[in-house]
Amino acid sequence: MARFLIRRLLWSGPVLLGVLTLVFFLIHLIPGDPIDVMLGERAADADRAALRAALHLDDPISVQYGRFLAGVVQGDLGRSLSTQRPVAGLVLSRYPATLQLAVAALLISLLIALPLGILSATRPRSIADTGGLLFSLFGISMPTFWLGPLLILLFSLKLDWLPVSGRHGIASLILPALTLGLGMSAILIRLTRSSLLEVLRREFVLVARAKGLPERRVILRHALRNALIPLLTVLGLQIGALLTGSIITETIFSWPGLGRLTIQAIQSRDYPLVQGCILAITATYLLVNLMIDLLYTAADPRVQYE
């Protein structure tokens, strides 16, 4: 296990380097000049040149890239071009909000997907199975940029049950978490159903039933545990979609997280801040997938890492 962890951590370095390199050059290729955003297009050429030199934006792109990598190695992500505040501090201040939203959306998706998936698998071709599949199809077909405003119109403007935007307690968390969680639950419902249907045909399930065990125990303790491996795999992949999907959702609901900060940084051409946000999202994704790999052994003791 220790060798596996060390190997995965060593592989995480090149992945982070590749992502940071790609983001660095892409953000510099995007049309637009941060000096225009900060001073306006009518600023004097002398003022523009002075600010560009002060921010080291007049250096060759290779020099800027080397300076950026050296700062990352030392734990320094630089300063925001627009606010002149340390990027690390800005990212850390927004990270808890994104983490809270991601965890809430994940819980909502599991609370919806597992019961409906189990019900569909244990009662195939029934009304419950058809309803679960229709809900899954409906959830997959709904983009977050459409579902979010629809939930706002219904629960905030028409029914006046929940706040429209901001982060002011649990009530503000419900709508953005639902927006992210419903789409993710739709995928997990179909996967839970198909995995559980396959496991229910195996001999050890027939033996458990032949022993007279209660059906609930057979399903939850024996069958579901063996069906978790593919579910965990897709769950790890969906974390990436959850983090990237939060960029749109946080913008819709004015949620003060990393996603909204990333959009604001892109709009202002704030290169260091964009790179810091992407670094935090990528590191989180790698860490979550490492945790998913470790959960394999808990779900199935036959899985061993050498």
Per-residue pLDDT reduced to its tens digit, 90-145: 999 988 888 888 889 989 988 988 888 888 888 888 888 888 888 888 888 888 88
- Of 150, 127, 260, 135, the closest CA to residue 188 belongs to 135
Amino acid at the residue 275: Q
Question: What range does the domain containing 108 cover?
Answer: 90-299
The answer as to whether 83 is a domain residue is no
The answer as to whether 20 is a domain residue is yes
The answer as to whether 134 is a domain residue is yes
The answer as to whether 291 is a domain residue is yes
**Torsion angle in degrees (nearest 10) through CA of 26, 32, 33, 34:** -80
Same-domain pairing of 161 and 50 = no
The answer as to whether 159 is a domain residue is yes
pLDDT score at 300: 63
The answer as to whether 101 is a domain residue is yes
Same-domain pairing of 174 and 137 = yes
Structural domains in the chain (count)? 2
Q: What is the largest CA-CA distance in the chain?
A: 86
Share of the chain above pLDDT 70, in %: 93
CA distance 172 to 101: 10
The answer as to whether 79 is a domain residue is no
- Statement: residue 4 has pLDDT above 70: no
Angle at 73 between CA 53 and CA 98, to 5 degrees: 90
CA distance 244 to 247: 6
Same-domain pairing of 262 and 134 = yes
Last residue of one domain, picked from the residues 73, 106, 124: 73
Q: pLDDT of 115-129, one tens digit each? A: 888 888 888 888 888
CATH number at residue 229: 1.10.3720.10
- If you average pLDDT over every residue of the chain, what do you get? 82
The answer as to whether 119 is a domain residue is yes
Q: pLDDT of 214-244, one tens digit each? A: 878 888 777 887 787 788 878 877 777 777 7
